[in-house]
């Protein structure tokens, strides 16, 4: 029995033991395999880290080598420059003359004074080719040549001189017993100064003229300008009725104003003008009163007085549908040219009425006079066009017949060469008395302008033909003029 058990049990025991040993061996082999894989992966990662560090070190060394190369090239250039300087100095010593040193110093000082920093510190400014004196207060800044102001801007003084020299030839009608005339004269010579006092809103202006041998006071006024919409001006100045009369004589398209403007202008007078440009510059108004006695009124007891105790009253309104004109200064007047080149299309329509009007600069005694006018204008890039119509009614207070007169002009200019060469033409007509058949006047004018330095230096030439209707042969005149203008 025991032998049977040993016969069958021993093989089973051996088989069980072998199976158990094989399982343990397989587990051991698996563990060794996993451990081997982990050791291999760790070694690969370590090698990758070493490679990454070496690459970074190489790039850093390469960058340093480039910097060292650039530094070496720079040092080489400096060494070469020093050698050249040593050779130049050794070959021929440079000795600057006193005059050369003075010229160099003057250039350096002049360059500094022309800088914005120097102008701001000194309160000093000089004009550019087209730009006026900046930072100062004048009715027209382009009239000034030099200006001074305090650092806070509450006080300023500006000075300028303007001059026009003219040659004229007149071919008059022989049928009316008139002879030809040749003349050279100074058409306009003006000295002006102005600025602001106490604040930037209170301004003053004085202008003297030497058009004749006697020096006269042309303008003197002050104005308060707290807002674009509201300004007050008082003193002696142009009556702001028709638009061409309020254009500066140094910014006219042609050398003089039209015959219609000269007939209906209200000249200068003592008065008060309330004006402004509301609605963001799309409108303009003037509400003014003047003594109406002109520059040389009648004198009573040695004093200037208004001879009939009536004041000249004025209302003006204008509309700018496309915005304000850059070429218009509401205090000093218009620039008739397109020198400032309006990039966008600009237009204007206006109207004015004057009661107790003058005849030029002369008071009409015992006469109620009223003048109405309308004006149109366009500016676009190189092109400018202006036109005005005037109508006057004179009614004698004694009850006599009234007199009606009217006139108009239209003119245009175009820059063939921008801001340099300009062509201009005008037609004007005037009827001093609509009841008279032989006093109708016409003007035909063509001109050419060349600008060396804007309005500050320019030359103008024009030719005109004037006709006055008379009984029988008309009265004719041909006129040629050449004028040079300088502002400094």
What is the pLDDT, as a whole number, of residue 79?
Answer: 82
What CATH code would you report for 167-182+243-487? 2.40.160.10
What is the pLDDT, as a whole number, of residue 180?
Answer: 85
What is the pLDDT, as a whole number, of residue 5?
Answer: 46
Q: How far is CA 217 from the centre of its chain?
A: 28
What is the pLDDT, as a whole number, of residue 405?
Answer: 95
Map out the domains of the chain as residue ranges.
1-89, 167-182+243-487
HSE, side-chain direction, 13 A CA sphere, residue 459: 4
Question: Which ranges constitute the DSSP H helices of 426-472?
Answer: none
Contact 413, 336 (CB under 8 A): yes
Instruction: Provide CB contacts within 8 A for 404, sequence distance 6+.
Output: 391, 392, 393, 394, 433, 434, 435
CA distance 8 to 5: 5
Q: Which long-range contacts (CB under 8 A, 24 or more apart) does 269-273 make?
A: 269/236, 269/237, 269/239, 269/293, 269/294, 269/295, 269/312, 269/358, 270/235, 270/236, 271/234, 271/237, 271/239, 271/312, 272/232, 272/233, 272/234, 273/232, 273/233, 273/234, 273/237, 273/240, 273/314
Q: What is the 8-class DSSP label of residue 474? A: P
What is the pLDDT, as a whole number, of residue 279?
Answer: 92
Dmax (CA) for the chain in angstroms is 182
What is the pLDDT, as a whole number, of residue 207?
Answer: 93
CA distance 445 to 425: 6
Q: Which of 318, 319, 308, 398 lies closest to 355 in space, CA to CA? A: 308
Give buried/exposed letters for 152-189 (b at 16+ CB in 10 A, else e).
Answer: eeebbbbbbbbbbebebebebbeeeeeeeeeeeeebbb
CA distance 313 to 358: 11
What is the pLDDT, as a whole number, of residue 105?
Answer: 67
Dihedral pair phi/psi, residue 466, rounded to 5°: -115, 135
Contact 371, 391 (CB under 8 A): yes
Residues in the chain: 488
3-state class of 134 per DSSP? Answer: coil
Averaged over successive runs of 10 residues, the pLDDT of the chain (488 residues) comes to 47 53 54 58 79 82 81 81 74 57 67 58 48 54 82 87 93 73 91 90 91 82 91 94 91 95 93 94 95 64 63 95 84 85 90 92 85 95 95 87 93 95 97 87 96 94 91 83 94
Q: Which of 183, 184, 192 lies closest to 164 in space, CA to CA? A: 184
Contact 180, 170 (CB under 8 A): yes
> What is the pTM assigned to this prediction?
0.70
């Amino acid at each position: 029995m025991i032998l049977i058990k040993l016969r069958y049990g021993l093989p089973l025991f051996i088989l069980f033991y072998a199976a158990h040993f094989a399982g343990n061996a397989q587990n051991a082999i698996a563990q060794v395999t996993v451990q081997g894989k982990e050791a291999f992966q760790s070694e690969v990662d370590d090698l990758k880290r070493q490679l990454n560090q070496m690459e970074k070190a190489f790039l850093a060394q390469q960058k340093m080598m480039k910097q060292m190369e650039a530094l070496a090239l720079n040092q080489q250039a400096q060494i070469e420059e020093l050698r050249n300087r040593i050779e130049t100095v050794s070959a021929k010593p440079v000795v600057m003359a006193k005059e050369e040193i003075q010229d160099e110093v003057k250039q350096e000082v002049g360059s500094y004074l022309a800088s914005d920093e120097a102008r701001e510190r000194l309160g000093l400014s000089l004009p550019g080719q087209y730009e006026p004196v900046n930072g100062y207060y004048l009715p027209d800044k382009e009239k000034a040549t030099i200006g001074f102001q305090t650092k806070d801007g509450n006080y300023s003084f500006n000075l300028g001189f303007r001059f026009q020299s003219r040659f004229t030839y007149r071919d008059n009608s022989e049928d009316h017993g008139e002879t030809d005339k040749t003349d050279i004269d100074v058409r306009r010579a003006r000295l002006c100064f102005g600025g602001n006092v106490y604040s930037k809103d209170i301004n003053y202006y004085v202008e003297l003229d030497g058009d004749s041998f006697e020096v006269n006071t042309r303008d003197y006024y002050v104005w308060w300008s707290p807002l674009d919409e509201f300004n007050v001006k008082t003193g002696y100045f142009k009556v702001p009725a028709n638009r061409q009369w309020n254009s500066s004589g140094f910014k006219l398209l042609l050398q003089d104003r039209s015959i219609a403007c000269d007939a209906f202008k209200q000249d200068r007078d003592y008065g008060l003008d309330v004006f402004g440009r509301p609605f963001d510059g799309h409108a303009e108004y003037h509400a003014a009163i003047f003594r109406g006695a002109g520059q040389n009124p009648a004198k009573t007891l040695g004093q200037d007085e208004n001879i009939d105790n009536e004041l000249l009253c004025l209302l003006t309104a204008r509309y700018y549908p496309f915005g304000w004109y850059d070429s218009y200064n509401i205090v000093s007047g218009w620039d008739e040219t397109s020198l400032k080149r309006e990039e966008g299309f600009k237009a204007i329509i206006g109207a004015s009425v004057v009661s107790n009007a003058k005849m030029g600069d002369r008071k009409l005694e015992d006469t109620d006079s009223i003048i109405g006018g309308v004006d149109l204008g366009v500016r676009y890039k190189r092109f400018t066009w202006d036109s005005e119509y005037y109508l006057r009614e004179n009614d004698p207070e004694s009850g006599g017949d009234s007199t009606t007169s009217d006139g108009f002009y239209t003119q245009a200019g175009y820059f063939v060469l921008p801001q340099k060469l300009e062509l201009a033409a005008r037609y004007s007509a005037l009827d001093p008395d609509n009841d008279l058949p032989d006093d109708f006047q016409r003007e035909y004018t063509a001109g050419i302008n060349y600008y060396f330095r804007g309005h500050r230096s320019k030359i103008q030439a024009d030719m005109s033909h004037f006709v006055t209707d008379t009984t029988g042969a008309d009265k004719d005149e041909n006129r040629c003029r050449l004028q040079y203008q300088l502002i400094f």
